[in-house]
Amino acid sequence: MCLHQYVLIIYNKLNMTKIREAVEKDSVIIYDCICGLAEHVNQRDMVSATEQDIKESIFSSDSHVKVFVAENEENKICGFALILKTFSTFKAKTNYYIEDLFVFPEYRNLGIGKQLFDYITDFAQVHGANKVEWYVNNANHGAIDFYKKIGAKELDYKSIYYLTV
């Protein structure tokens, strides 16, 4: 298998949703997913990206992110996930970080979030990673419950800091 082009389509037998890598024509719906996620966590006012920004950053030749979309049998995008590489100096391994994962409300509780996580962990494993990690908004109790349900572990020894540049 060629590692720079990972192709895996996972179908959910309950709803015939497939997960695939996003393509440039998905830019508009990716933007809609980002806005939907921001609304879900009451942070819509924090979104300054435009559809054009999404197209130019995610699908540029030097992009450092991958986007996967969940697409149903009617070819409608139900949700998305955006990941990027990280590096563990202690393990000397590349890992992956989930920046965003979102499923539109009308498609929740159909197993699509789990499908996205399965796809990401399979992708990461094929690319030599041993961990996928992410942050969660503390107010997003539904997501926290979901993460616990799928067996995710919570880090209790780190705090997040940042500098604005």
Range of the domain at 115: 11-149
> Residue type at 65?
V
- Cβ contacts of 125 within 8 Å, gap of 6 or more: none
Model confidence over 87-107: pLDDT tens digits? 999 999 999 999 999 999 999
Buried b (16+ CB within 10 A) or exposed e, 60-71: eeeeebbbbbbb
CB 81 within 8 A of CB 71: no
Both tokens of residue 107? 């498609």
Buried b (16+ CB within 10 A) or exposed e, 97-124: bbebbbbbeebeebbbbebbbbbbeebb
Q: Judge whether 157 lies within some domain.
A: no
Q: Judge whether 5 lies within some domain.
A: no
Q: Judge whether 1 lies within some domain.
A: no
pLDDT exceeds 90 at position 9: no
Residue with tokens 């009308």: 106
**What pLDDT score was predicted for residue 11?**
52
Q: Judge whether 125 lies within some domain.
A: yes
**Length of the chain, please?**
165
Please state, rounded to an integer, the average pLDDT across all residues of the chain. 90
Quick one: angle between helices 27-40 and 51-58, nearest 10?
Answer: 110
Q: Judge whether 24 lies within some domain.
A: yes
CB 94 within 8 A of CB 123: no
Both tokens of residue 86? 């990280």
pLDDT exceeds 80 at position 1: no
**What pLDDT score was predicted for residue 15?**
66
Sign of CA dihedral 52, 55, 61, 65: positive
Our count of domains for the chain comes to 1
CATH code of the domain covering residue 109: 3.40.630.30
Taking the C-alpha atoms of residue 165 and residue 113, their distance in angstroms, rounded to an integer, is 33
DSSP letter string, 131-146: -EEE---TT-HHHHHH
Model confidence over 113-150: pLDDT tens digits? 999 999 999 999 999 999 999 999 888 888 899 999 99
Over residues 152-163, the mean pLDDT reads 90
Q: Judge whether 2 lies within some domain.
A: no
> Residue 2 — very low, low, confident or very high, per pLDDT cuts 50/70/90?
very low
